[in-house]
Every structure is written in structure tokens, then in C-alpha cells.
Chain A
Amino acid sequence: MTFSCGVSERMVEELYLNINPLQTAGKTHAETRKAIFSWIDGYAVCDACKGSLRTMDKPPIRAFLADVSAFLGMEDAMLTNGAREAKFAVIHSLTEPGDWIVADGNAHYSTLVAAERNRVDVVRTATAGAPTYEVTPEHFAEALDTAEDARGTPPALAIVTHVDGSYGNVVDAAGIAKVCHDRGVPVLLNTAYSTGRMPVSGKELGVDFIACSAHKSWATGGGNAGILALSGAYRDRVLRYSVDNPVKPLETLGCSTRGSAVVALIAAFPYVRERVSHWDREVAHAQMIVKMLEDAGGFFILGTRPKRHDLIAMETPAYDEIAKTHKKRGYFLAKDLKACGIVGIKPGRTKQFKFSSFGLTDDQARYLAETFIDIKDRYDTR
């Protein structure tokens, strides 16, 4: 079916196992899609507006913010349009143009862009390099000390990628936060790939801010949504209000995600709260897939071991060898996977690619690994 605008319906999630790491944990639950269907009209959430999105009781945004703060082990929270907007708000609140911040060597580009828009330099830590690309507290200590010696001032902020989007490495956030705090540097944890998938407590990790991506990891659709959770110590600096419009938080220009996405986030929250308690099952699936692939030969996992996250990056010389002689070159893999009901890897990639096993059942996880191996064996036996 094609709509009059030329856009067609999207049946990807109904027809295929979608293993695109960007999308696996943003897939919505039925209750969430019902909520989106009901609240899709522009500004629908503002039916009972009291002047600010964060104080809304119908839908229950005020109560949600209190609940989600507790869920994340923080003292307050605000809605944003995504994790990058949350990072931007904190950098904007804590820095002046010309200041510098530190970020890990696996930081997402949006961290760097958020700093650039704030006219703030970013010093990036080293990583362990191939094949683990690990970032440790020692990397942060080295970057902080070296850069402070060179610049003469400490950084205004450290942004730590809890789980990076390239290798799915889970960093020692508590260890890094201690290194930063020992040097008087506040810590923002970018959890675009962690909160909503796995248990995260800001209090236990000792971080000052948590940036969340609802459309990436909180089973939220219907638009963009994010959360910035913060400790009470920074509430006044970040969650400050306009002088001329005193009910409007400045950093979100009054109201942020003022559409169906916020209702979707509220509808998804009970489901998300429940699913993080099954994180061990997600990790077990990832570890099983890694083991099956490595045992089969021709697959090498990138990132730290043991695998502790559903995002799996692989080097696949077996596929790359096939691509050299296949008439479809590197595109054979995506085509063969699709024929087996699997989508989500970048077409044309055979040397190295990443995928996510989040949300798969036991049978689906096994089917995914078996399909990867079957495709390799199909050509090996020719």
C-alpha cells in the first residue's frame, strides 16, 4: 500500500528479524502503539497544559519524571528530544565558550557536535585500540592530567559513553566517575545504548548526569524523545527557568518533546522497567551467538570479552572472501540474509559489520547465528 504522498507502509518489524543496533531496542510494544495512535495529533499532549510540559498531570508527565528519576537512581529528570539534546543542555549549562571537556575515544559524534555548538573543545581519551577498543579509568586519568597540564585549567565536564555504538563495550563507569571526581570534574554518562535495556543506577555509578535516548533504547516511537536525569547538586544550574517566562525551563526552550513521543515513553515505561530485569537473558543471547559464530570459524568479534551487551561487532573474513567472486559482490550478504527473513546490516558490508540481538527469543537468537553460519557454509561448499 502506498499513501497519496508516495510513502509506503513499513512492515519491517512484522516480516523480518531486524538486527539494526539503532532500532532493536526502540521497537515499540503494542500498548505503546495504541497510545501513539491516540495521541498522534500535533500538541495533543497540551490538552490540559499548566504552562510547562514537566508539570503536566494529564497525561501524567509530572509523575513520570519522578518515577523515572527514581528508576535511574537520580534526583530529578527532564524531558529532552534525545540523548544529544540532553548532552547539549548540560554542556551549555556548565561551560563558557573556550572551555574544554573530556570525552572517551569511543564517543558518539553527537557528543562532539554538542560540544562544537557550545564552542567548547573536546579532548578525547585514547582507547586500547584493536581488537578490544576498550576505554578504562586509566585512559581518562591520562587524558585529564595531560590536557590539564597543557591547558592550565581543568575540564568543565567529562562525558562518558556507557556503551559505545561501534563495539558494544560496557565501560567501568563507576571507576571512570571516581577518576573524574577525584579531579573535581563532573560526569555525564551517555546511556543511549544502556538505560532502557539494562539496569543502570546513577547513584551506584556515582555520576552527576545521565543522558538517555528513548527512541533508541526505551521502546519509544512516534517521534524523538530523551531524558536527562541529574543529581540534586546540579539541579539549579541545569534545570533553571526563564526570567521572563518563569515556568519555562531554559535548556529545553520551555517544552521539549511535546508530541506523541512523550506519551509513547510513558506507555513504554512499565514494559521497559520490567525488561531491564531480564538483561542477563539478553547478555546470554549475545554470548551464545558469539560462541556459535567463532566456533564456526571465519568470524572474529571486536570489542571487549566476555561480551556484555547485545551490540555485536564482527570482522568477517569468511564473507569478504565470498564477496570477491560473488556476482553481487559485497551485497550478497544482505540479500541472502533478507531471503532468510533477517534485515538490519548495512548492504555491501562484508569485511566488518555490527548487529544487535536485543529482544530476540531463544529460538530467534539461535536462528540468527545459524543463518550467519549457513550463508558462509553455502558458499564454502561450492
Chain B
Amino acid sequence: MSDGVSLPIFAVMVVVFVVLTICIGLYGYKHTRDNQDYLLGRNKSNPVIIALSYGATFLSASAVIGFGGQAAVHGMSMMWLCFLNLFIGMLVAFIIFGKRTRRIGKKLGASTFADLLGKIYKSKGIRAFTAILILVMMPIYCAAVLKGGVNSLAVITGLTEYYDLILLALAIIVGVYVVYGGIIAVMYNDAFQALIMLVGMVVILITTYATLGGVSGATTQLADLWDTGVFDKTGTMPGFNGWTQFSDFGSDEWLLVVTTFLLGVGIGALTQPQLVVRYMSAKDDKTLDKSIIIGTVFIFVIVGAAYTCGSLSNVYFFNEYGQIAFQHVTLGVDFIIPTYITDLFSEVTFGDVFVSLFLMSLLCASISTISALMHTIGAAGGFDLFSILKSRRENRDVDSSSLNVNRIFTAIVMVLVVVYCYFMPSDIIAKATSLFMGMTAAALLPAYVHGLYSKEPSKKAAIWSISVGTLVYLFWALFISQSMSAFLPICKTITGSQVLFDTSIRFVDPLVVALPISILVMAVAVIVYKKRAAVGSSTETA
């Protein structure tokens, strides 16, 4: 194990980074004249900025550290998540959802995802519910990303005794530029940070292959490592067949990987409020079309590199220490990638520079996502809920135009997120991501699709779908799913055991149950209310 990063080199990089971040923040501040600029910055976003900002927001430290660590445990089957990120998260999202969202959002004058749904359905209730969902669930995701970034930073720099200080510094940097620079600062900083991530991950991928004997050589070693069984297999889940083979269908391993990691995150990307805003910030459809190529390449490089290197880290750790990744890195799955990078580059010329570069990439991955999440949470409270309250007070439909309310709200939430970091369980980065994405998809995806593609969106059907999707997801998450019930151990408090059934069903992610039910309820409700309306109008005619 190396001694960690070279602090002088890393310090120089951080200073340059902070100066550039502040400059971009100032640019955002100067161009944020009103609430529309703060929330959407519609005319300031070109295809490159939209694509890189979308990619950097989509891929947080969670993708690199959280899911990269999970790839070290569950193997290259995680590459299906990379495929889903590209196919659903980029192609379907931009081509099928993005353009229509932008057009409808512009037509209705919507500024946030909650605002968009509220205006499509002409429902303050739906808008309020979406805003509250964001306010309650997003801080969990945000805290997980923040904690993940700080953990890695503290471990690699060896400054674990300054954990609180690092957490506070990171929160202040993000808080300041989000609060003052709004979406313009967030998106331009995202793009800048995305470039750093890109360089960092390409270097890591090349070094990994160079160290382990080339692409085929490294992969063959990984396959042989499992086949020859030269290590202690204790700790691997039933159904796991090695890092280069897919798990047995229906096994515990299969259920966890496919339902929680692949589907939970793969589908959930479509209803991410912070990503929907990226479509709405585009000037026209062509801007979105042109963004796709950059976003796709970016996501492929970052995610593909993280999952591939995560899996291959087993070969490295075995060659060096005679143990596979999760056995060697006892701190937890979230620490596998940081430990691997630090170790790998300790044997490489200019390794210190590369470790610092990786750390910067990690910092960027965390900051870009946290800033987008903070902006979204701030807008949910300071714009959506405040607008609803204002409308009720003034007894007319009105959207808040107060920049300061947004800013104050964002600052308050940042403080709450920092506090929440101290109460979170460990090894939760990937699972917290899955929880937030799954919850929003189960609750909002059918209503979002119906709202975008129906000529006469049914408000009542949307309310039914949202309510049932939310309730089923929550019940499954709190009482059935082993990984999700860790966030709020209500089942343990009531029954004494973490989940209701101690069978394989505990590995099934709530999304794969709640989303189909939510879709079914939406379809049935649309038909029922349409029939009722038809009967009503024919009775009136008669």
C-alpha cells in the first residue's frame, strides 16, 4: 500500500481548481439576473455544455466509487448498467423524452420538473407532491454522494483526522457557487469538471491494462482467477459465477445485481429532476440532438472504465496480496476503487501526479452531482413550494420570482445534508443512488410519460399512479428489501428483524415491483376515467 497522494501536488491542483470554480461561479452570478436565469439559464447552454453537464450530473462519485466498487464484488455483469446508462439514460432520455419535455416545458413556462408536471396536469397537488418527494428523498442521495467524496478524499490523502473539515470545505465550495451562480454556474462548472473526470478515467483505464498485461491478458487473468479457485471464496453471494460470467438466473446474486443495480439505476435515470432540467435549459431541439454524441462518449468512457477497472482490481490485489478486492480492502466496498488507484499508481512513474488527478476527478464527480442536486432541492422548496404557498396567499396562480428565497432555501438544505452525512450507514453510495432513482421512477415515470404523450392527460389517473407507485415502493423498501430497509429500520423496530421474509425475495429491488404496478394503475385509471367522461358527455347530449 502506498502512503497516499502527494499533498503538495494535490494542493496545487486544488488551488487551480478552486480558482477556476470561483471564476465560473462569478460568470454565473453576473449572468443570473432573474429567477428564470437561476433556474434554467435557457439561452446560455450550448450542446457541449448540456452534454457534459448532463453526464457529470448523471455520473457522480457514486458511479466511479460506489458502482466501481460494486463491480469489484459483482464483476463485469455491471457493464449492463453502462449499457442502460447509454441506451436509456442518453438515447431514450434525449430523443424520446428530452425534446418533448423541452417543447412542453417552454410552452407551459415550466422551470422545474415539479413545475412541469404540475402545469401539464393543472394540479398544484402533483406539483407539491413532486417537490416534497425531491425534498425528502434527494438529500439522502446528496448526502451519500457528499460522504462518498469526502471518505475517498480523506483516505487517499491520509487526512482522516480532518474528515469534518474536508466535509465542511466541500459543502461550502459547492454551496457558494450554487447559491450565487444558479444553474449557469452549475452547468459550466459541471462541464469543466467533466473534462477532468474524462482525463482521469482514461489514464486509469490505460494504466490498468498496461499493468495487467493488455486487454485480453487482463480479462483472461480475471477469468482464471475464479476458475482456478486459488483464493478463499467466502463472502461471495450464492449464484455468483466469477467476474467474467453472468450469475445464475434467479439466484440471490442475480436478483441483487439485476433488480437493484441494473434496473433500479438504469430506468430511474429517466425521472431524475436534476436531469430533466438539462433538457429544459436547451434553446432548441437541435441543441439536444447535438448533445447526444458528446454525452454518450463521455458516459461510455467514465462508466465503462470504472466498472472494468473495478472488476480487474481483483487481479491486481490477488497478484500483490494474494486476496481479492473486498477481502483486501476491509474498510468497505466504497473504498475499493480509491485503494486500488492509490496502490496502482504507487508503482508508476509520475504516479503521484496521476493519483492527484484521480482524486481531482473524484472531487469533480462528487461536486458536479452535489451542485446539481442542491440546485434541484433548493428549487423544489424555494420555487415550487413557495410558489404554491404564494398562490394560496394571493388567491391566484402565480410563480415565485424571488431569487433570494431560492438562495436561502438552498443554503439551509446544504446545512441539513451535511448533518445527515453523520447519520448515514456505511457502504451505501450505490444503494442510496438506487433508492432515489427507483423511488422517483416508481412514483413519477408513468405520470411523466402520460403527461408528455397524451393529448388530454388525466389528472386523476396520474394521482392514482403516483400514490400507488409511492406506497408500494415505500412498503417494499421498508419491509421487504434488505438493502433499502437499512436506511430507515422501521421493520426492525416493529418486528425485531430487518425484513419480513428471510428468503431470496429480500434481494428484489422495490422498483421492479412498484413500477409495473404504477404503470398498470395508470393504464386502468386512464381507461376508467375516459369511459366515465364518455358516458357523462353522452348523457349530457341526450
A, B: real partners: no
| Interface set of B (CB-CB < 8 Å, partner A) | none
